[in-house]
Amino acid sequence: MADKKKSSKPGPRYQRILLKLSGEAGVGGDSFGIDPKTLAAVSEEIAQVVKAKVQVCVVVGGGNIFRGAALAEAGMERASADYMGMLATVMNALALQASLEKAGVYTRVQSAIPMDAVCEPYIRRRALRHLEKGRVVIFAAGLGAPFFTTDTPAALRAAEMGCDALFKGTSVDGVYSADPKKDPDAKRYETLSYQEVLSKDLRVMDTSAVSLMRDNHIPIVVFSIRERGNLLKVLNGEGVFTTIA
């Protein structure tokens, strides 16, 4: 595992992170599909962190293109719907890769479903080597198996890559007791334990993902990806965010 920085000096608190993005927050904006402005803004956030010599890997969802669970509820066979959702994450990963490369950041996309014509297959040791060379690695297609959201693959990849923390970029500035968009009295938490997240059913991530982070002692940092410059700010311990540890 990469060494953690625990000094009081200004600078990144972690040397290697996994950034988890939903399709909507990461590349879809508030609408369906891929929004170029949102994509460029997210790429700039990542580029700033890479310039600070932090190693970054990314897992992005596919909800801005396709929601397998929703179609399954409408009657489609669940496994087929989930595989379609995985393909949506590959589309988002390739879009993010193109945007990052335009911003001057070297990247690799690795997919849990082999598709050699467009990206690399997921190979742990190769992914680690890319990170060590300063490349951003974007993991696509989840685990390559149905019945999982992208939360569990994000947690698994964070553990496999020896990440110091899992950063979850959302449209709100942390974890709340209720949906702050619907409940003006919702309380924002500064810190939470893994057990509190599970017992309060706060639904920050899937229970399997939270449990995996707990078992591997990897903190989860929840912050707003919509605020420009916020990723680097939160990485430096500044700004508004919630830490789960």
Would you state the structure tokens that stand for residue 108, as one six-digit string?
């690799």
Give the pLDDT confidence score for residue 8 in this predicted structure.
52
Closest residue by Cα to residue 182 from 191, 172, 192 = 172
Report yes or no on 25 lying in a domain: yes
- Amino acid in the structure at residue 156: L
3-state secondary structure of 167: strand
Q: Are strands 120-121 and 165-170 parallel, antiparallel or unpaired?
A: unpaired
Report yes or no on 68 lying in a domain: yes
Would you state the structure tokens that stand for residue 126, as one six-digit string?
């190769």
Question: What does the mean pLDDT of the chain come to?
Answer: 93
Report yes or no on 11 lying in a domain: no
Residues 6+ apart with CB under 8 A from 98: none
Domain span at residue 187 reads 16-244
3-state secondary structure of 229: coil
Q: Summarize pLDDT for 101-128 with one digit per residue, the tens.
A: 999 999 999 999 999 999 999 999 999 9
Percent of the chain at pLDDT above 70? 96
User: Per the structure, how many domains does the chain have?
Assistant: 1
Q: Summarize pLDDT for 207-239 with one digit per residue, the tens.
A: 999 999 999 999 999 999 999 999 999 999 999
Asked whether the predicted pLDDT for residue 135 surpasses 70, the reply is yes
Query: Which CATH number is 70's domain given?
Result: 3.40.1160.10
Give the pLDDT confidence score for residue 6 in this predicted structure.
45
